[in-house]
Amino acid sequence: MALETLMGIKEINGESVLDIDETRKIYSDTMVVGERQDGVNFNLESFDQYYKRVWEPKSFIRVDHNSNTISFKIQQGPIKENGKNGCQVEDMIAVAQHIVQELHNKHPSKYNEDIIRNLELAIQASKQRTADRERRQVEGTSQL
């Protein structure tokens, strides 16, 4: 049920969310063996090859409704030193917050409110940490 709350979501916390099933439906029909107009046969790349080449490098949050899973590619190393290659823990918290908020909309409870409030506190603390690191000019580096 929790993943249903992510149906149709394209972005959370500024990170794109890739719905693997939706993408497979859109692109798998075009990944077929075919014949060019001049009669030469060709083989388009498979969906998996296309996914690894096009989507995997730029989508760090992936939802697979078919297997009821969410996966996150976490940033490896500081962005200034390694470039953007994954999402941050703050993005994972934002996904959890979105899921609980949507569940709360359907089934309100004080417990959900507490979870949402505490997840918001975690996001605020992360932003404060980032602001402090920016102020000290060490954000995006491995310096403490």
Domain boundaries, the chain: 2-135
Q: What are the pLDDT digits (tens) for 99-135?
A: 999 999 999 999 999 999 999 999 999 999 999 999 9
Largest CA distance in the chain: 67
Per-residue pLDDT band at 32 (split at 50, 70, 90): very low
Q: Using the predicted structure, report yes or no on whether residue 31 has a pLDDT greater than 80.
A: no
Nearest of 127, 130, 63 to residue 98 by alpha carbon = 63
Q: How far is CA 124 from CA 62, 89, 92, 93, in A?
A: 24, 12, 14, 11
The model's pTM: 0.75
Which H or E run includes 123?
helix 110-135
